[in-house]
Amino acid sequence: MARHATQVTRKTHRDTATRLEHDCIGSLEVPAKAYWGIHTARALENFQVSNIPDSTHPQLIKAYATIKRACATANEELGLIPGVQAGAIRQACMEIEGGRWMDQFPVDVFQGGAGTSTNMNMNEVIANRALELAGHKKGDYEFIHPNDDVNKSQSTNDTYPAACKLALIDALGPLAQSTDRLGRAFHRLADRHANDVTVGRTQLQDAVPMTYGQQFHAFASFLKSDIAAFERLVPRLAVLNLGATAIGTGICANVEFRASVTRHLAKMTGLPITAAPDPVAAVTDMSVYVAVSSAVKNLAIHLKKAADDLRLLNSGPNSGFNDINVPARQAGSSIMPGKVNPVIPECVNQCVFSVFGMDTTVQWAASEGQLQLNAFDPVIIHSLLSGMELITRVMDVFREECVNGITVNVEVGRRYAETTPSIAASLNEAIGYEDAVEIAKEAEASGRTVREVAGEKTNLPAKTLDELLAPITLSRRLGQTCRERVDRSGRERGNTRGDRARR
């Protein structure tokens, strides 16, 4: 059967050049200058929903082009596509990977068909650009066809998820780097205040002494664990299902294609690409998306913790904790002169709330696969990439506009540490819990320090009391100094950058 060839270029009533293309539904005029064709045109008619095009996520577009390049190389290797066509397809793919032709991917991110519209859009753009590179006109599908050549041995159901996973690996790189930068900023803040004591708080009530350095170091430790979680995702995202085609049975694909394309893609990307062990299961397995969403949500929870704590510690100045000062960034009220709000932590929180919504969307979409396919990859990848980009940007804002400028009210913290009744806990071993309770109660009622009351109520020597009740000593019973340990090379041990991106 002859391939559907494009008809002669014609003029519309608006004097706009078009070409006529065909699909299984019928014929349709498409702009002659467009690299996309009839399948993309159908999608543009059908999915006028969000006005957010696929090109909003360049990682996805570039990753899909990489997938198509690997497929063309495998098809050529197996003798399924002539070298001239394969070479033109590869060159077109490389242009897209380099950032060209992004305006040719206009399909709405909210599309039905499990990503078919995006796949066909990619096939058409690659085919028509390859035709130009080979000296042919757009639409000359007798020479290079979007389906028969660019999409050979493939299906949307194996290539689209593969592109999604490579795009997520790309997005994890900047995310991990931003996380690392913020963590290092907290480390620097912790180091500056490693010896400045304050009071710890549990249930928003006074607890026992700690240092400001320990408090800030905890935030950095949270972020370090997030980077490690991102790194563990890379090999899971590198398990792809290319060659499995429609439902995992490999229909329309050469039996050697799966191994060939997996090998070529691994070489092209430098990633540990492997083929899914159960191709049928892999078509509907959304677990790696859920894992990515959970890791990003966990980072968001850590950011919320830091932002919330900084807001509390900054509260006041006269009626709050007044432990720290976050940088003043703008007037905080239209009627209260001089009021300044912690706007950057508040911005962080709102981005975090959006990521929580991202996770809910991913959970629902991942759970909605019926029988041999989950049709909701498009909303999953859009939600994940949008959430990851948002949280990446806000972490840089958090670091630059807030964390780097935080100052600590050292004397306020010292007063809190020395006057908290809870410090009496350090007397438990020496005088017993019940007597320590009485000292704490009297100190609170009289407004004096536990040290003063203990000096009157116990027979312990002054030197012993000073040693037992020294806030800085109490804060380091486990030897925490807040500083990262370094190895002999001078690098922070275990503080990986987490920047495993494909490019």
Q: Which residues are catalytic?
A: 333
- The alpha carbon of residue 406 and the mean position of all alpha carbons in its chain are separated, in whole angstroms, by 26
Q: Tell me the C-alpha distance between 340 and 207, whole Å.
A: 29
What sign for the dihedral angle of Cα 271, 275, 281, 284?
A: positive
119 within 8 A of 150, measured Cβ to Cβ: no
Alpha helices in 367-449 (DSSP H): 377-401, 410-419, 428-431, 433-446
Consecutive H or E run containing 275: strand 274-275
The SS3 assignment for 254 reads: coil
102 within 8 A of 61, measured Cβ to Cβ: yes
* Cα-based angle 96, 74, 160 (whole degrees, multiple of 5): 50
Q: Tell me the C-alpha distance between 470 and 459, whole Å.
A: 18
Q: Tell me the C-alpha distance between 101 and 114, whole Å.
A: 23
Q: Tell me the C-alpha distance between 193 and 55, whole Å.
A: 45
Nearest of 432, 463, 434, 437 to residue 450 by alpha carbon: 437
Q: Tell me the C-alpha distance between 449 and 447, whole Å.
A: 7
Please measure the distance between the N-terminal and C-terminal CA atoms of the chain and give it in whole angstroms. Answer: 41
Q: Tell me the C-alpha distance between 401 and 397, whole Å.
A: 6
CB neighbourhood size of 464 (10 A): 13
The SS3 assignment for 199 reads: strand
> In 129-243, which ranges are E strands?
197-202, 205-211, 239-240
Q: Strand pairing partners for 11?
A: 17
Q: Are strands 239-240 and 274-275 parallel, antiparallel or unpaired?
A: parallel
User: Got the DSSP string for 9-67?
Assistant: PEE-TTS-EEEEEE-SS-EEEEETT-S--HHHHHHHHH--SS--BGGG-HHHHHHHHHH
The half-sphere exposure of 268 on its side-chain side, counting CA atoms within 13 A, is 25
Q: Tell me the C-alpha distance between 216 and 305, whole Å.
A: 11
